[in-house]
Structure 1
Amino acid sequence: MRAVKAPNGASAATLASDGSDLIGALPDELLHHVLSFLPAQQSVRTCVLARRWLDLWKSATRLRIAGAADGKHRASFSKVRELVDHIVLLRGGSPLETFEFCFDGLSDADVPRVNLWIQHALACRAQVLRLNIVWDLSSRNTSRIRPDDAPLVSQHLTRAPWCAVKDKFANFSCCPSLRVLQIEDCNLTHANRISCQSLEHLRIYGTSFSYSRRIRIHAPNLVTLQLRVHYGRTPVLETASPLLWAVVTVHDGGADLCRHLYSGDCYDGSCQGCRNIRNDNSCILLQGLSQAKNLVFFQLGLKRRDLQWCLTFSMLKTLVLNENWCVPNVDALASVLEHSPVLEELFLQLFSKGLRYKVQMKGRFNPKELPSTISAHLKRVEVKCEVVDETVLNVLKFLSKHMELEPNVCVKMQQKEMPD
C-alpha cells in the first residue's frame, strides 16, 4: 500500500484518508486554545510539525510551566529556568488568560527571576495567576521579598491560587478586578496586611503568620472565607463583610493558645498566648464575622476576648461551634446565642480524645419558652459528641431548659471501644 505524502510539510498523523490536513485546516483561534492545555515545553515542540505551526505556540492563551516536559512530574527549577526565560522572551506580549508554574528546588536567590515572569504575565493581561512552589530547604539565603516592595499591579487579574509563596504576595490593593485569592502553605511572617477591595472569595490554609505581630486582612466585599490558622498569631479581620458563609479554625499550634486551653484570658502572667490576646486593643475575629449568614467557628483562646465587644450577629442563620465554646462553662455559648437574633440552626460538635460513646441529640426550641435573649427563629439544634463528660452534661443541661425534643430521635447512643 502506497503511503500518502504530507503536503507542504504537514505531519502524516494529521492527514485524512484523502490526503487533506485535518488539524491544519482548523482556525488559529482554536489551535491556540488546544495548545493552551499542553505544558509549555510540549507546546513549544509543536513548532516542528509544519511551517504553519512555527509560531502558533506563542499565542496560546494559557502558559503552563509545570516542570517536567510531560507535565505530570516536577522538575528542578535550575534545569528549566533558561528554557522559561526563552519562552517568555519569544512569546512577547501575546495576551494570556492563565499563567501557571510549578517547580521544585526554588531558592530565595531565584525569586527575582520569578518576579520577572510574573510581571510578564501581568503585562500580558493574565486573568489567572497560579503559583505552586516547592522551596529548596537546603538554601540558607535570607534575602526574602520584603512587604514594602511594590504591590502587584493588574487591571485584569481575577484569580490568584497560590501555594508556598512568600511575603510580597499579600498586597493586592492595585488589582481592582481580583475576585478569588487562595493562599496555601505560604510564608507570610513578614507581611503586615492582605488588602483587596474587590476580593470576594478568600481561602488561607496551612500558612505561617508572624508570632510577634498580627497581619491584618482588609477585604470589605468578601462573600466566602476559609481561614485555618496553624502557626503564628491569628489575623485581624478589619471589616465586617456580607459573608454568605465562613469557616474559621484556630489550631493549638498558633500563638494565641491559652496554656489552660479554654480561657482566652487565664490571668496567668506566664501565659504567652493570653498576653498576645490581652495586648491587642481591637476585636480580632468576631467583628469581621459579625455580618456572616452561615458560620463555622472552631477556636481555642480568642472567644472570651472578642465577646467583650458585645457584637450582634444580625444576619447569622446557621452556626457551628466546637467544644471550646462550652468550657469551662456555657457562658460563651450563651453570649453568642443572645447576640444572634435571627439564628435558625445551631450545631455543636463536642469531641474529645478519649473516645468511648457516640451520642447525637436533635431537637428544636419551643418559642413560647425561650427567653427574650435567644432567637425566636431557632428551629433546629444538633449536639454531637463522643464522650459524655462534664462539658457535654453542662451543655445538655443548658439546652434542656428551653429545648423541646423531637419524638423518637432525641438521643442516639452507640458504644464504641476505647482506642489503643
Structure 2
Amino acid sequence: MAESVVAGKEEEDRISPLPDDLLRYILSFLLSRQAVWTSVLARRWRNLWKSVPAVRIDEDEINTWFVNSLLLLRDRAPLHELEIISCFDDSYAPRHMEMWLRNTLDFSSCPVLEVLQIYFCEINAEKILCQSLRPLVMSECHFVWCIRTCISCPSLTDLELNDNAGLTPFLESMPSLVTASVWFDGDWADREYRYDHCFDSYYGGCDDGSCLACHIINLEGDGCVFLEGLCGATNLKLTSAPEMFICRRDFKWRHTFSKLKTLLLNEWCLVADFSGLVYFLRYSPILERLRGCLVAVLKPMCLA
C-alpha cells in the first residue's frame, strides 16, 4: 500500500509492514463479506481473506450466493471460529445449513478449532467431536428426534446450551469444564417437539403408548444422558420445564459434583419431593452458593 499525501504532508503507511499472519488475525474480527472486500486494496490483499481463521456470516447473507462461494473458494487453513446466524423462518437456510456446516466443520481436519457458536439451527448429527474446542454455544436449536446427538469435547471449558428443543444431547466427560449453562425448555417450540418431556411421570417410563419421550428412552436403554458430562463444572446453571424428566432420570447414577461451588436451579428441582434439590445438596460437597430455587421457603430436609 503506497504512501499517500494528505494536505501537502506525507502520511506514514503503518499497515504494509505488518506480517500476513497479523493481517489475517485483524480480518478475523470482521464479517466474512467485509474481509473479502479488502481483496481490492492491493495485490498483497487479494488472497488474504481465503486463509482468515474465522468465518462470520450474518442473517443478511444467508439468502445470497455469497456463502456457497466463500466456502468453495476458501483454502484449507485452520479454522478457529465459525459464526453463522440464521433463522427458522428463512425457508432457504435449513436446506443449505447442513451442507455449509459439513463443508466447514469437518472436525477431524480442524485440529485447532477452539470456538464454536451455533444459533437457530436444526442439529441432525450423530456426534459433535472436537478435541480442541473450548467454548461451545448452541442456542435456540432443534435437535431432531431420530437420533440423540453426542457431544464429545474433552477440552471444553465453557458450555452454553440455551433454549434448545428436541432430544437432549449426550454429554461425554468434560474434565476441564468450568462453567456450564443448560436450559432445555424450547419455549419457542410446539409441545410435540419437546421429546424429553413426559406429562405423566416425573422420571419417565410411563405406560402411555402415545408418549414419544418415554418410547424413545426405552429404545435407547440404560445410560446417563448428560449429568456425567456436567459433573466437573465449577459453576452450573441448570433450568428446564418441570415436565422434562431426563435430568431426574440421570440421578440414579449418583455422579458427584466435586468441584461445584455455584449452582442455579429453577422450579423443576422442587417437584417430586424436591428430588432435584436434595440430589445436588447431597452430591456437591463444596457447594458455596445456591440460587434460584426458592430456598427461603423450603422446610428443613434430612439429606442422610
Report the TM-score range of the alignment, normalised by the length of the smaller protein.
0.7 to 0.9
Provide the secondary structure at the position in 2 that maps to 1:173: helix
Could you say if the C-alpha distance between residues 181 and 211 of structure 1 is closer, same or farther in structure 2, counting changes exceeding 3 Å? same
1:287 match: 228
1:105 match: 63
2:210 match: 270
Cα displacement (A) at 1:113: 4.0
2:153 match: 219
1:181 match: 116
One-letter amino acid matched to 2:34: P
> In the alignment, is residue 310 of structure 1 matched against residue 266 of structure 2?
no
Provide the secondary structure at the position in 2 that maps to 1:331: helix
Tell me if the contact between 1:319 and 1:345 (Cα under 8 Å) persists in the aligned partners: yes
The separation in 2 between residues aligned to 1:174 and 1:44, in whole angstroms, is 26
The separation in 2 between residues aligned to 1:334 and 1:250, in whole angstroms, is 21
1:256 match: 196
The separation in 2 between residues aligned to 1:30 and 1:336, in whole angstroms, is 53
Q: What is the total number of aligned residue pairs between the two structures?
A: 283
Match of 1:28 among 10, 13, 16: 16
1:239 match: 173
Which protein is richer in helix relative to its size? Answer: 2
> In the alignment, is residue 325 of structure 1 matched against residue 266 of structure 2?
no
Provide the secondary structure at the position in 1 that maps to 2:118: strand
2:245 match: 301
Tell me if the contact between 2:116 and 2:137 (Cα under 8 Å) persists in the aligned partners: yes
1:397 match: 299
The separation in 2 between residues aligned to 1:222 and 1:171, in whole angstroms, is 18
> How big is each residue's C-alpha offset from its partner over 1:336-358, in whole Å with a ceiling of 9 and x where there is no partner?
222222222222335xxxxxxxx
Tell me if the contact between 1:106 and 1:133 (Cα under 8 Å) persists in the aligned partners: no
Larger RCO, structure (CA 8 Å, separation 6 or more): 2
1:55 match: 43
The separation in 1 between residues aligned to 2:110 and 2:93, in whole angstroms, is 32
Tell me if the contact between 2:71 and 2:103 (Cα under 8 Å) persists in the aligned partners: no
Tell me if the contact between 1:243 and 1:289 (Cα under 8 Å) persists in the aligned partners: yes
1:342 match: 286
1:73 match: none
The separation in 2 between residues aligned to 1:288 and 1:235, in whole angstroms, is 10
The separation in 1 between residues aligned to 2:155 and 2:274, in whole angstroms, is 33
**Equivalences for 1:5-154 in 2 at 5 Å?**
14-17=4-7, 19-23=8-12, 25-26=13-14, 28-30=16-18, 33=23, 36=27, 39-40=34-35, 42-46=37-41, 54-58=42-46, 63=49, 95-102=51-58, 103-106=61-64, 113-118=69-74, 120=75, 122-123=76-77, 125=78, 127-132=80-85, 137-139=90-92, 145=98
Provide the secondary structure at the position in 2 that maps to 1:227: strand
The separation in 2 between residues aligned to 1:260 and 1:117, in whole angstroms, is 53
The structure whose Rg is larger is 1
Cα displacement (A) at 1:302: 1.2
Structure 2: gaps of 5 or more residues: none
**Equivalences for 1:379-418 in 2 at 5 Å?**
382-383=295-296, 396-398=298-300
One-letter amino acid matched to 2:208: D
The separation in 2 between residues aligned to 1:244 and 1:298, in whole angstroms, is 17
Could you say if the C-alpha distance between residues 314 and 398 of structure 1 is closer, same or farther in structure 2, counting changes exceeding 3 Å? same
> How big is each residue's C-alpha offset from its partner over 1:9-36, in whole Å with a ceiling of 9 and x where there is no partner?
x89xx4244x34315x445135984994
Structure 1: gaps of 5 or more residues: 1-9, 47-53, 64-87, 89-94, 147-164, 351-381, 384-391, 403-420
The separation in 2 between residues aligned to 1:255 and 1:99, in whole angstroms, is 32
Q: What RMSD in Å do the two structures reach over aligned CA positions?
A: 3.6
One-letter amino acid matched to 1:173: S
> How big is each residue's C-alpha offset from its partner over 1:82-141, in whole Å with a ceiling of 9 and x where there is no partner?
xxxxxx6xxxxxx5344444413158xx876453134x2x33x55444444568945599
> How big is each residue's C-alpha offset from its partner over 1:302-348, in whole Å with a ceiling of 9 and x where there is no partner?
12210111212222222111111111321232122222222222223
The separation in 2 between residues aligned to 1:16 and 1:143, in whole angstroms, is 47
Cα displacement (A) at 1:41: 6.4
One-letter amino acid matched to 2:224: C
Provide the secondary structure at the position in 1 that maps to 2:237: strand
With normalisation by structure 1, the TM-score equals: 0.57
The separation in 2 between residues aligned to 1:317 and 1:130, in whole angstroms, is 31
Tell me if the contact between 1:170 and 1:194 (Cα under 8 Å) persists in the aligned partners: no
The separation in 1 between residues aligned to 2:120 and 2:210, in whole angstroms, is 30
